Amino acid sequence: MTTELIHIGFGNIIAINRVIAMAPPNSAPIKRMVQEGKSRGMLIDMTNGRRTKAVLILDSGHIVQIALSTETIAGRLTAGRGGQD
C-alpha cells in the first residue's frame, strides 16, 4: 500500500490514507472528542495558532486539528487524483 501525503497548510503534511473521518470542529460530540484526545495525549494541533476549521480522526486514534476546512481538503484530494473519485 502506498502512502498518499497531502499538504494541510503552513508546511504541515499528513498521510491521508490514515484518515478515517473529517469533521468541522463546532459540534458538541467533536468538541468532546478533542477534549478526550487532549487528556489522553492523542491530540495533534497542526493549526499553527490559527482557528481550527476541521478535525481529522486517524486510524491510530489520534485527533488532528487543522486550519483548513473539510471542503478544502476534499478539493485537494480530488485535484490530486485527476478529478476521479
**pTM of the full structure:** 0.88
41-61: per-residue pLDDT in tens? 999 999 999 999 999 999 999
Contact 22, 55 (CB under 8 A): yes
Tell me the pLDDT band of 82, cut-offs 50, 70 and 90: low
pLDDT at 35 over 90: yes
- Please state, in angstroms and rounded to a whole number, the distance separating the CA atoms of residues 62 and 38: 10
Tell me the pLDDT band of 19, cut-offs 50, 70 and 90: very high
- Please state, in angstroms and rounded to a whole number, the distance separating the CA atoms of residues 48 and 27: 22
Tell me the pLDDT band of 84, cut-offs 50, 70 and 90: very low
